[in-house]
Amino acid sequence: MNFYSDGTLLNSTPATITGGVASYTTTPCFRAAAHVITAVYSGDTNFTGPTTFTLAGGQTVTAAPTTTTLVRRRSIALGNR
């Protein structure tokens, strides 16, 4: 089973199907937008393929809020003694 986002292959090795369930955890960062997630089963000796499944409603990624903190440090000028 291979997983795709917007037509781009996500997993470099096919996911193993255990108990009728295939899963994949992604590490790449997705841009904030709606994405089409598709799983493609190519078949094996027990079941024919290929079969394509698309995640109903897709996957929507939203941008996480960020916080930026600015710290002002006083500098001390040392003169000649």
Q: At residue 58, does pLDDT exceed 70?
A: yes
In a domain, 77, yes or no: no
Cβ–Cβ < 8 Å for 26, 39: no
In a domain, 14, yes or no: yes
Query: In the chain, how many domains are there?
Result: 1
DSSP letters for 24-74:
----SPPPSEEE-EEEEE---SSS---EEEE-TT-EEE-PPP---------
For 3-38, the pLDDT digits (tens) are: 898 899 988 888 888 888 888 877 667 787 888 888
In a domain, 73, yes or no: no
CB neighbours of residue 3 within 10 Å: 21
Dist CA 2 CA 52 (whole Å): 10
In a domain, 55, yes or no: yes
The string over 32-42, giving b where at least 16 C-beta atoms fall within 10 Å of a residue's C-beta and e elsewhere, is eeebebbbbbe
In a domain, 15, yes or no: yes
How much of the chain, in percent, has pLDDT values that exceed 70?
Answer: 88
In a domain, 44, yes or no: yes
In a domain, 51, yes or no: yes
64 vs 37, residue with greater confidence = 37
Show the domain range for 6. 2-61
pLDDT mean across residues, the chain: 79
